[in-house]
């Protein structure tokens, strides 16, 4: 099961403007670049962008959905390489997450996560370390 090369079931998440507003409320991060086109444009962004922490939260679901117990996650890190632009329409932005076991040693497995929106990778060096039972 927890073998090097194992691919975890991928996950596609659709982020709409409403989801950003909900995340802003739940997390307390009300930075207007996550809900105001005007403020995003003023800062030179291509549009309203998703909270990096929302993308990060979505990405790790590939791993925690696969584990019997999400408490087995011991380490998780990402780099935010490209913003996820979320248009104000019904379609929103799709981000697809996939993951693969890269290393298993000493009771721990290291899992590489890939996050793609459109054609672009939006996270770099996304990696989770989990306890192997």
Partner 1 sequence: MTIDATMVGRSYAAAESYQVGREKIREFADAIGDRNPAYRGDDAIAPPTFAFMVGSRALEELLNDEELGLRLDRIVHGAQKFSYTRPIKAGDTISATATITTVRKAGPVEVIMYETTLTTADGEPIATATSTLSHNRADA
Which residues are at the interface with partner 1 (CB under 8 A)? 13, 19, 22-23, 25-29, 31, 42-44, 52-54, 56-58, 60-61, 64-65, 69-71, 73-80, 125
Residue closer to partner 1 by CB (options 5, 49) is 49
Sign of CA dihedral 66, 111, 125, 121: negative
Cα of 105 vs its chain's centroid, Å: 25
Residue closer to partner 1 by CB (options 5, 23) is 23
**Least separation in angstroms between CB 120 and partner 1:** 17
Tokens at 43, concatenated = 């800062």
**Least separation in angstroms between CB 2 and partner 1:** 18
Radius of gyration of the chain (CA): 16
Cα–Cα dist 55/11, whole Å: 12
Residue closer to partner 1 by CB (options 22, 118) is 22
């Amino acid at each position: 099961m927890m073998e090097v090369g194992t691919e975890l079931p991928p996950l596609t998440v659709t982020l709409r403007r409403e989801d950003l507003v909900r995340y802003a409320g739940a997390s307390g991060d009300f930075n207007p670049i996550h809900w105001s086109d005007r403020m995003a444009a003023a800062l030179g962004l291509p549009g309203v962008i998703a909270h990096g922490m929302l993308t990060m939260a979505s990405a790790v679901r590939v791993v925690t959905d696969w584990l019997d117990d999400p408490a087995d996650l011991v380490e998780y890190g990402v780099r935010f390489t490209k913003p996820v632009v979320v248009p104000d329409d019904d379609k929103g932005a799709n981000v697809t997450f996939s993951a693969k076991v890269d290393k298993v040693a000493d009771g721990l497995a290291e899992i590489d996560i890939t996050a793609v929106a459109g054609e672009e990778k939006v996270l770099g060096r996304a990696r989770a370390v989990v306890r192997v039972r």
